[in-house]
Each structure stands twice: as C-alpha cells, then as structure tokens.
Amino acid sequence: MITGKQRAQLKRLSHGMKPLMQIGKNGITPGVIEQIDQLLEDHELVKIALLQNTAVDLNEAAATLTEALNAEFVQGIGSKLTLYRPAKEDPVIVLE
C-alpha cells in the first residue's frame, strides 16, 4: 500500500505521460491483462486510456486491473487511469 505522499510523487512522475495501452470495445480481457502486466514490469508506472466504445467505466477498470495485477491505483482523470507496480528485478522508481 502506498502513502499519500508516494501517490503524489507518482502523480508528478505520470504528468505528461502518454497512455501506453488502450482498452476498447472488448474490455478487459486476459490478453489485455497480460500486456499491462508486461508494461508494468518494464515501466513500473503505466497510463491506460479507456476508449469511448469500451464497456467498462474508469472505477470498474481500476478495481479489476489493480486486483488482477497486484498493482496500485495512482489516479484516474477523465478516461485515463494510472497504475503503479515496482518491477520484480531492478526497480527504477524509488518512492520517498
């Protein structure tokens, strides 16, 4: 579990990031979860865009993904959400 101070640090780091993944009309499939899992391992901090035609809303997507990926929800703004999970090997982001 991350603290409020750590969440603020992650928000600062994610500001200006482009979404690395988009979730479309098929919603959150096992393939999507697998791709985001790899992105989290590679980048630790991942911004995801929910397209207009997706069947899931932001809160539902955040809950599903954080549980499936053992990740932390950083923030959700509009149709974008940001997740964080430290890399198993050689984490790059050091939380204060």
Q: What is the predicted pLDDT for the residue at 77? A: 95
Q: How distant, in Å, are the alpha carbons of 22, 24, 42, 75, 76 from that of 52?
A: 10, 7, 27, 19, 15
10-53 tens-digit pLDDT:
999 999 999 999 999 999 999 999 999 999 999 999 999 999 99
Confidence bin at 1 (pLDDT 50/70/90):
confident
Confidence bin at 9 (pLDDT 50/70/90):
very high
48-95 tens-digit pLDDT:
999 999 989 999 999 999 999 999 999 999 999 999 999 998 899 999
Burial bucket for residue 15 (CB in 10 Å: 0-12, 13-18, 19+): exposed
Please tell me whether the overall predicted TM-score, pTM, comes out greater than 0.85 for this model: yes
